[in-house]
Amino acid sequence: MAALFGTAGVPVRISADVMDELWRKLMVNCAYNAISGLTQQPYGRMAALPEICTLQHELVREVVAVARADGQSMSLDAALVAMAQIAQAMPAQLSSTAQDMARGKPSEIDHLNGFIVRRGAELGVATPVNQAMQALVKLAETARDYG
């Protein structure tokens, strides 16, 4: 399958630990999607503001804490590096949440930051920053519905 995708020019990485890959993808989405969605700003502009970087670090810390409580061996340092690399690799990118919100479509926030909030509650891990991001996106979606 990897070779087939490779011939089509689709980059493929084979992983022996799918759950690690899923948690890493979730971590990146939690760090970027809500902020990009609420501000309609690309990743590079987000990374240029120290206050946003601090916010993203707190989001990542919570995701890593939940992942560890869930039995994953996610490294905080590696997660922070991976999070920072996204803005360098895709500075003009708007998150899928931003794109959904711009189109007036429901976002996937309940499956991103909302998942971290729910799973954190189940595992006894506080996730106030992820909860705030989820709540703010939900409020923005509701405000859109009321025009």
Do 146 and 134 touch, CB atoms closer than 8 A?
A: no
CB atoms within 10 A of CB 138: 17
Could you tell me which of 131, 137, 44, 56 has the C-alpha nearest to residue 93?
Answer: 44
Tell which residue, 44, 27, 58, 50, has the closest CA to residue 36.
44
Rounded CA gap, 119 and 57, in Å? Answer: 19
Q: Please calculate the CA angle 46-53-70 and round it to the nearest 5 degrees.
A: 115
Contact 82, 24 (CB under 8 A): yes
- Tokens representing residue 110 in the block: 């309940």
* Active-site amino acid positions: 25
